[in-house]
């Protein structure tokens, strides 16, 4: 089973679309999880996981953790926020601390595929997730970046807000028109091609 996880708080954003496109292109049995409607806290270091590598914290992570341990490969996508991976994505990987105790690594040998959303993700999300996959003794089968879409394009104030990215890019506008908006994943030819290729890599390995 291939597990796709979007660590974005936005249910239908770019991370979500790219992860699901990779799953679809793999043509393999897959499960997709969005962190958007989940409560996922950081690791508290309570150490209740040390005996059996199972996290006991009562939020939504243990369910995701169980899927991670069942999966043959994990396709993980998350956005860049302020030059780093977003906090929800970070919490998902921080909680894999529960998977590495007493000389055992629950995720050892599984394959990983990484999606980083927006250009800065190449310096933030992608290297960070790569290092977390390595810490879990996983192997990275591939990675890609997808263009992000700033919330300022849909917040309602973006056309005249001086702190937002719309005015930063286009100057003051009477209103935001279609030509100003960044392309969503469905219109990003290069990202779609990358997702197709990564799906085919998974198909070549597990198909």
Ligand X SMILES: Cc1cc2nc3c(=O)[nH]c(=O)nc-3n(C[C@H](O)[C@H](O)[C@H](O)COP(=O)(O)O)c2cc1C
Residues that bind ligand X (CB under 6 A): 8, 10, 13-16, 79-83, 117-118, 120, 148-151
Shortest approach of ligand X to residue 207 CB, angstroms?
A: 27
Q: Which is nearer to ligand X, 30 or 34 (CB)?
A: 34
Report the residue number whose CB is nearest to ligand X: 13
Q: Which is nearer to ligand X, 137 or 181 (CB)?
A: 181
49-60 burial string, b = 16+ CB within 10 Å, else e? Answer: beeebbbebeeb
Shortest approach of ligand X to residue 32 CB, angstroms?
A: 14
Q: Which is nearer to ligand X, 101 or 180 (CB)?
A: 180
**CA–CA distance, 98 with 43 (Å, rounded to integer):** 9
Q: Is 163 helix (H, G, I), strand (E, B) or coil?
A: coil
Q: Which is nearer to ligand X, 20 or 106 (CB)?
A: 20
Shortest approach of ligand X to residue 119 CB, angstroms?
A: 7
Shortest approach of ligand X to residue 137 CB, angstroms?
A: 27
Burial of 103 (0-12, 13-18, 19+ CB in 10 A): exposed
DSSP-H helix ranges across 27-149: 61-70, 87-94, 125-135
CB contact at 8 A, 124 and 85: yes
Q: Which is nearer to ligand X, 148 or 158 (CB)?
A: 148
CA angle, 26 then 28 then 33, to 5°? 90
Shortest approach of ligand X to residue 202 CB, angstroms?
A: 21
CB contact at 8 A, 24 and 193: no
């Amino acid at each position: 089973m291939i597990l796709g996880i979007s660590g974005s708080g936005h249910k239908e954003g770019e991370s979500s679309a790219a992860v699901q496109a990779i799953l679809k292109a793999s043509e393999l049995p897959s499960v997709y999880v969005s962190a958007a409607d989940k409560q996922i806290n950081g690791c508290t270091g309570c150490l209740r996981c040390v005996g059996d590598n199972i996290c006991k914290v009562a939020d939504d992570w243990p369910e995701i953790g169980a899927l991670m341990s069942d999966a043959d490969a994990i396709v993980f996508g998350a956005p860049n926020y302020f030059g780093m991976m977003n906090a929800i994505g970070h919490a998902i990987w921080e909680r894999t601390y529960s998977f590495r105790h007493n000389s055992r690594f629950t995720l050892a040998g599984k394959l990983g595929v990484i999606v980083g959303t927006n250009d800065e993700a190449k310096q933030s999300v992608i290297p960070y997730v790569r290092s977390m996959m390595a810490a879990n003794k996983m192997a990275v089968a591939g990675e890609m970046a997808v263009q992000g879409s700033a919330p300022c394009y849909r917040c309602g104030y973006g056309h005249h807000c001086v702190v937002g990215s719309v005015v930063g890019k286009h100057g003051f506008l009477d209103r935001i028109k279609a030509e100003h908006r960044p392309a969503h994943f469905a219109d990003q030819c290069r990202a779609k091609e990358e997702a197709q290729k990564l799906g085919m890599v998974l198909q070549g390995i597990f198909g």
